[in-house]
């Protein structure tokens, strides 16, 4: 099985379950194979994906959120 990097992003404006669903959908549009885990408490998203982090960040920004390295 291919090893995929795990990215961690802080998303300070991710505050609820709707935000998590929107971010997850945006990431999975960029990479349908991505595995996304999110914590609204920590405002953190962990993404297992073979797609470059810049593409994933751009997808999250396009969905209306402000990701930062975390």
Residue 1 in any domain: the answer is: no
Per-residue pLDDT at 4: 72
Per-residue pLDDT at 2: 56
Note if the pTM is more than 0.85.
yes
pLDDT single digits (tens) 2-32: 567 799 999 999 999 999 999 999 999 999 9
CATH, residue 15? 3.30.70.100
Provide the CB-side half-sphere exposure for 26 (13 A, CA): 21
CA distances from 29 to 1, 17, 19, 25, 40 (A): 22, 18, 15, 6, 21
Mean pLDDT of 24-51: 97
What domain range includes position 52?
6-69
Residues across the chain? 70
pLDDT of 1 > 70? The answer is: no
Q: Does 4 or 55 have the greater pLDDT score?
A: 55
CA distances from 1 to 4, 5, 7, 16 (A): 9, 13, 18, 33
Total domains in the chain come to 1
Which residues touch 3 (CB under 8 Å, ≥6 apart)?
none
């Amino acid at each position: 099985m291919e090893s995929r990097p795990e990215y961690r992003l802080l998303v300070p404006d991710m505050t609820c379950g709707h935000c998590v669903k929107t971010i997850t959908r945006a990431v999975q549009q960029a990479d349908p194979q991505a595995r996304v885990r999110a914590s609204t408490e920590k405002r953190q998203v962990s993404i297992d994906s073979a797609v470059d982090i810049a593409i994933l960040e751009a997808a999250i920004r396009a969905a209306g959120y402000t990701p930062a390295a975390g």
